[in-house]
């Protein structure tokens, strides 16, 4: 066993396995979150209530490939175009 531990190739392999394990532990949650956000934005429809990254609630009025128009407030006069990346949360109508 002592000769195995003194072998430099074995030591390098151990370090690679440890670093690879930590890499997987750190990147997996990030990829999972990215997949969740992409799915949420793909399922976005007109009439959905959204929460923006700045904390405003609004209703989706129009959707294009990269942008959408969100109506804020109850006066129907505040419609703001924004990027889909600015959406933090989506609530479907009738969903509680």
In this predicted model, what pLDDT tens digit does every residue of 3-50 receive, in sequence order? 666 788 888 898 999 999 999 999 999 999 999 989 988 889 999 999
Domain 45-91 classification at class level: mainly beta
The residue whose two tokens read 């006069």 is 77
- The answer to whether the CB of 31 falls within 8 A of the CB of 46 is no
Alpha helices in the chain (DSSP H): 2-6, 8-42
- The answer to whether the CB of 37 falls within 8 A of the CB of 86 is no
Which are the contacts of 92, defined by CB distance < 8 A and separation ≥ 6?
45, 48, 49
Give the whole-angstrom CA distance, residue 36 versus residue 12.
36
Does the predicted TM-score (pTM) go above 0.85?
no
- For the chain, the domains span 1-43, 45-91
Least confident residue range of 9-13, 72-76, 83-87: 72-76
- pLDDT at res. 3: 67
List the Cα angle 83/79/54 in 5-degree steps.
Answer: 50
- pLDDT at res. 10: 86
Query: Two tokens at 77?
Result: 């006069």
């Amino acid at each position: 066993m002592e000769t195995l531990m003194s072998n430099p190739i074995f030591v390098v392999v151990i370090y690679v396995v440890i670093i690879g394990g930590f890499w997987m532990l750190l990147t997996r949650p990030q990829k999972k979150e990215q997949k969740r956000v992409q799915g949420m934005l793909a399922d976005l429809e007109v009439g959905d209530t959204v929460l923006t990254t700045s904390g405003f609630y609004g209703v989706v009025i129009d959707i294009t490939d990269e942008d959408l128009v969100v109506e804020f407030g109850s006066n129907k006069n505040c419609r703001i175009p924004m990027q889909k990346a600015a959406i933090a949360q989506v609530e479907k109508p009738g969903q509680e």
